[in-house]
Structure 1
């Protein structure tokens, strides 16, 4: 929406729809009446209607609309930084070697250059009003003030969601400042390159540079070296995907190193080690870009995201889409859709991973999240799983003030702090949280999905083939 007037116009046009939604909820005629309060019902149904019934728009417009900077005000410190690209190609070459080592078939991918990576250090700013203006001081002074309010060792490396082609750190500031407040730490929110202009693995290369820059600050950086044991990688939706593919890349780099040795790489002229982070916290991650799992369709009543049949690849043509030459997916070549660093659901091994936390609703991504957590737990990864009954995608961010969302934030922050301060206390566990009354019920993490890894991979490959064929015939 371009302005408050546009929002008002939209709501006026949708008045009959809104009234019908309220009536159905009040009379318990809606399938979600017993699970949702009225506020949740209105928000989810309005967002769903906007995403599925709005006139088609180009990828350029969709992207532009989600990159508008709302400004900085209120209870947040934001210090904008740029992490320079290393002059040597060692990091880039290492990533390509890792991609090739994880190939399962004949996957094709582009070979992006190393570029400077922009990011925002975000922290909580206490003692000011919600509309307090940003101070007119330098970025370095903002960072100094931010650090004065940090009360823990937690450093979050955060990747935003948006299907890899939408959103920006500027749109997630309210979330990242909340993350900082909940953990007492600081957040580095990364402006990774977006598709379709920058397909896989550009975002992953930016993520790897960001991680290395935390560990080994380049000249002129505002921060001091951050121990890997203080870093928790976190993200939502596509940002959760990026978090996990970064982790899988690091795990593969460790697997390829000589036994007993920490792998190294040349970064800004120095040979440095590549340790694993303290943990990964996800809410909820997008793990399967083929969208082949049953929950994609089965959980439609609780979902607002468009079904796979309404694909952004079918958007009206513009300067950035379709690409030249054309490809089957906005983010990657069709052949790469099942690569473990594109769809981490296809990864064979998570052994050796640090602890992982996944929170999910009852939504499109539920099955892929369950399958991932189950596999990780079976491979002796300490995995914490929380599922909230009848909740939509990214409910804790969408439904601000929702009691379930607040509970999930508390669980998320508890995991993050434990991962840094007392990792030995983290144990594998799973819980299902009931709607409305929020009763926690234990679930068996090792039995979340009744589907084998082999069956899942077959489903993914079949779905990939259909996507490639559909792109070729413009179906």
Structure 2
């Protein structure tokens, strides 16, 4: 107990003066954000900002490991942990590598990435447990029994393939159990939260391979699976932040495989890769190069890194050979499956939902939404006034966060149950009143897709020249 108190004091002591200053400026209405935020929001965002932007450098290993400690399971949630075995065929890897090459620009060289192994994929089935309290412990029964109990309470055919956030090098299904629990509760369905491989030890395309593997496993369950085959029309791919990146990358990958008429040999059968019912994301990270103006312009309303992060040397970072981007070798940072904002062709896509705030990623989200909607794809875009990155997750007591989760779940449900009722629309949700104003999805930004692509390619070229 004494050690815990000492660690707590060591953490909070240097933060206290900065937090007090933030609180005072907010109360006196001297901050830019005070007309939009309550005091709790101002202090919470400032704490995240200090920890991310003003803390002394640590190693990537230590930073990563802090997000991988399982706090245990309790409360109104069913969780069944499973592992899908690898198929005997290598087809899923080869179609991924084929798509990576086909989506490159003609002048780009082949390869440029390490081909990941095909490994079993773990994840967590999650459902809402109604007859439990916040402190109800997990039942000491088998994972199979937990799955059966979960399915007894599932009231909808909706199945969410969830890809967690964490900058593609942090976090795990354990950190996003609450998110999955809420989505399961509000949809009446179930989620499968994927434990994909993390960079920098496992750079692109390892995480994307794991995501495709998980999707195929839902459609065509490997031997020993607890679930029966899930219709693609019942699946929505969802994710936050970096998980939003993977969600869009997986969708673009599926579209490319369909354009190429490719199938995957899966446990002895040639299998189609069918589109899901939809993709639904919170604050998706769509430009790995961070090239858009909002990266600087929206800093007052966000806590994400305001500069290039520095880390102490450890066994996994810096990489050997060196690269700027943890997730990918620098020459591929502007690839459509790495930075989905770059992807040009979204024809034939399933419906898409994007929720964002006034965060530093706002421009890339708006431009991507515009580009996709202008190709005739149904896009629902929600902008939450003055809100930071993934506000619904980090500010759970904010009324706007509850509204966001309800809207997220409602659109997921529409994608599965009433897709014809979905229409392209945009909404601005006011911070304090939650009043709404319409937004034109086809004109969300003055920046065009072509201009954004030019900026990304310029930044990518700079990254490649510095690392070479």
TM-score by length of 2: 0.97
Matched, 1:465 2:467: no
Deviating beyond 6 angstroms after TM superposition, the runs of 4 or more aligned structure 1 residues are none
Contact 2:115–2:205, Cα closer than 8 Å, also in 1: yes
Q: Which residue of the partner structure matches residue 122 of structure 1?
A: 126
Distance 1:465 1:101 in 2: 20
Count, aligned residues: 463
Matched, 1:426 2:414: no
Pairing 1:237-386 to 2, within 5 Å after superposition: 237-257=241-261, 263-307=262-306, 309-311=307-309, 314-386=310-382
Matched, 1:76 2:80: no
Cα deviation code 1:406-457 (max 9, x no counterpart): 1111111111111111100000000111221111100111111112222111
Distance 2:79 2:428 in 1: 35
Contact 2:15–2:50, Cα closer than 8 Å, also in 1: no
Distance 1:318 1:3 in 2: 26
Give the superposition deviation at 1:274. Answer: 1.2
Give the superposition deviation at 1:471. Answer: 4.1
Give the superposition deviation at 1:198. Answer: 0.5
Query: Mind listing any 5+ residue stretches in structure 1 that lack a counterpart?
Result: 258-262
Selected match of 1:408 from 404, 410, 415: 404
SS in 2 for 1:292: coil
Give the superposition deviation at 1:466. Answer: 2.5
Query: Mind listing any 5+ residue stretches in structure 2 that lack a counterpart?
Result: none
Q: Which residue of the partner structure matches residue 198 of structure 2?
A: 194
Give the superposition deviation at 1:7. Answer: 3.3
Selected match of 1:231 from 228, 235, 239: 235
Matched, 1:160 2:164: yes
Cα deviation code 1:43-85 (max 9, x no counterpart): 0011101111111001111111111111101111110000111
Selected match of 2:389 from 388, 393, 409: 393
Tell me the C-alpha RMSD between the 2 structures: 1.3
Cα deviation code 1:15-69 (max 9, x no counterpart): 2222211111111011111110000000001110111111100111111111111
Relative to structure 1, the CA distance from residue 145 to residue 334 in structure 2 (aligned partners, 3 Å threshold; closer, same or farther) is same
Relative to structure 1, the CA distance from residue 9 to residue 277 in structure 2 (aligned partners, 3 Å threshold; closer, same or farther) is same
Q: Which residue of the partner structure matches residue 95 of structure 1?
A: 96
Contact 2:380–2:424, Cα closer than 8 Å, also in 1: yes
Moved more, 35-44 or 463-472: 463-472
Cα deviation code 1:129-153 (max 9, x no counterpart): 1111111100000000010110000
Distance 1:267 1:279 in 2: 23
Distance 1:4 1:277 in 2: 48
Distance 1:220 1:442 in 2: 48
SS in 2 for 1:13: coil
Distance 2:5 2:431 in 1: 33
Relative to structure 1, the CA distance from residue 405 to residue 5 in structure 2 (aligned partners, 3 Å threshold; closer, same or farther) is farther
Relative to structure 1, the CA distance from residue 115 to residue 167 in structure 2 (aligned partners, 3 Å threshold; closer, same or farther) is same
Contact 2:323–2:330, Cα closer than 8 Å, also in 1: yes
Q: Which residue of the partner structure matches residue 210 of structure 1?
A: 214
Give the superposition deviation at 1:327. Answer: 1.9
Distance 2:195 2:5 in 1: 27
Give the superposition deviation at 1:5. Answer: 4.8
Give the superposition deviation at 1:8. Answer: 4.2
